[in-house]
Chain A
Amino acid sequence: MEQLGKKAMAGDMRAASRLIRNIEDNIPDTHKAIKHIFPHTGRAHVVGLTGAPGAGKSTITDELLMAIRKKNKTVGVLAVDPTSPFTGGALLGDRIRMLRHAEDPGVFIRSLATRGAMGGLSKAVGDGIHVLDVMGKDVIIVETVGVGQQEVDIINHAHTVIVVQVPGMGDDVQAIKAGLMEIADIFVINKADRDGSKKLYKEIKNMIGMGKWTSGWEPPVLMIESVMEPHSFAKSVAVLYEKIEEHYQHLVDKNILADRAHRKVVTELNDALKAAILDPVLKKLIEDGEMEGMVAKLKTKETDPYSLAEAVALKYMKDD
């Protein structure tokens, strides 16, 4: 497994894609590879794209890849789509918008299914970013699933968060609600040739006007018009990329890159603790049939979930 980490670090694309697969499939010992690469991570600029289904995240990502490659930077993309809660299957279709980059060795695109994660990402995103990072990608784009109001896990992983909005989704109260509308470093109004885009622009601008931007960065609001006009679309996305670079420079200049890194490591530590402590306990409870017994007791109201959980905690947590 360490070997896989070493090969990924040497830029071996197949080793990297296998390693990401092992992370997704939660294969035992995969953490050995992550241990190996972890000290070398933290170099790439991680950009998150989030927004409603069909807002244009993948299409914008595709054009961003063009803009980034024009500057001779290499890019990795993690594109997340939902897993079926019924069958566990998934249809991953983000890549369909990015076909023209399939033969460019400077672009690595990987589709991930959420596999039950609820925050707009997949559990594999955190370590997946590390893999792309040590592969030497300069920029890593993480495209979330189509989100609603509060799937905001992307802020734990990205340095720069772009929220893609489209006109016609709601009034000005939507714009001042908590959640998604709070996390943007850059707003994009996509499909801005449609009715209602000026109104949306004003609503977002008003919302921004109400806020305090203590770090000195006030989120810009960019309009991007139809992809059916490829020339102007490309131009608008090039402007977006300039803003993305500007934002990263701002984080560096103001010495606040570390704040973003703080959120990421706290998330990673929490996930790792859960994997190391909770998962084995759950596994044992299921294997020993205890889980089933507890569920049965709850159904007959013989006891309550809190008493059961306390008993399990008492059994497994030994204070010394």
Chain B
Amino acid sequence: MSERKIRILLAKPGLDGHDRGAKVLARAFRDAGFEVIYTGCHQTPEQIVGAALQEDVDMVGLSCLSGAHTYLFPAVTKLLKEQEADDITVVGGGIIPDFDMQAMYDAGLKAIFTPGATLDSICDWIRENIKPRE
């Protein structure tokens, strides 16, 4: 029987090696019934976009705790656009100061989750906002 499943790529761009949060999320996404491709730490935006295209995902989740999000997150959305793949939703999470939020949304990210966001609230957001791409 046909069923579109939500596919998510979860990645940590840049040199930040703190992946506990990303792993907790990967587990939560699994439990929410999504298929999550977890690619781990130390990736370039090019690697992330390459993997997203090969995996035909609906959403890319980026985690960054190092402060380099202002460079790395927009680099991912820009590359997706260049590949005509901006129908893939990009969301971010980590230590993102309030004064960077607008720049993140301007760069094309659809949501930012910061410390304190519950797993349920993130999964609910995905269920409401991510529809498997037709």
Contact = CB atoms under 8 A, between A and B. Distances in A.
19 contacts: A14-B53, A21-B7, A21-B56, A25-B2, A25-B5, A26-B1, A26-B3, A27-B2, A28-B2, A84-B30, A87-B31, A89-B31, A91-B36, A91-B38, A92-B37, A92-B38, A95-B38, A102-B43, A113-B35
Contacts of A181: none
Contacts of A95: 37-39, 51, 55
- The size class of the interface chain A forms with chain B is 20 to 34
A279 interface: yes
B46 A103 contact: yes
A216 B53 CA distance: 43
Interface residues of B, number: 35
B51 A87 contact: no
A260 interface: no
Contacts of A27: 2, 4
Chain B: interface secondary structure? mixed
A113 B56 CA distance: 13
A28 B85 CA distance: 24
Given A17-B56, A27-B2, A96 B26 contact: no
Interface in B21-64: 26-27, 29-40, 42-44, 46-48, 50-51, 53-56
Nearest to A25: B4
A110 interface: yes
A18 interface: yes
B14 to A, nearest CB: 13
A150 interface: no
Nearest to B4: A25
Contacts, number: 94
Contacts of B132: 25
Given A17-B55, A21-B56, A91 B26 contact: yes
A109 B37 CA distance: 12
Interface in A61-113: 83-84, 87-93, 95-96, 99, 102-103, 108-111, 113
Interface of A: 13-14, 17-18, 20-21, 24-28, 83-84, 87-93, 95-96, 99, 102-103, 108-111, 113, 279, 283
Given A90-B35, A93-B37, 14 more contacts: A17-B56, A21-B7, A25-B2, A25-B5, A27-B2, A87-B30, A89-B31, A91-B36, A95-B51, A96-B40, A99-B43, A102-B47, A103-B47, A109-B54
B30 A90 contact: yes
Nearest to A279: B1
A13 B38 CA distance: 21
B85 to A, nearest CB: 7
A84 B47 contact: no
Contacts of A87: 30-33
A108 B51 CA distance: 9
A103 B44 CA distance: 10
Contacts of B30: 84, 87, 89-91
A117 to B, nearest CB: 14
Contacts of B1: 26, 279, 283
A99 B40 contact: yes
Contacts of A26: 1-3
A89 B29 contact: yes
A110 B9 CA distance: 12
B25 to A, nearest CB: 10
Nearest to B46: A103
Contacts of A25: 2-5, 132
A89 B32 contact: yes
A13 B55 CA distance: 10
- Which 8 interchain pairs have the tightest Cβ spacing? A102-B47, A89-B30, A17-B56, A96-B40, A21-B56, A26-B2, A89-B33, A102-B50
Contacts of A103: 44, 46-47, 50
A283 B2 CA distance: 11
A254 B33 CA distance: 47
Interface string B93-134: 000000000000000000000000000000000000000100
Contacts of B27: 91
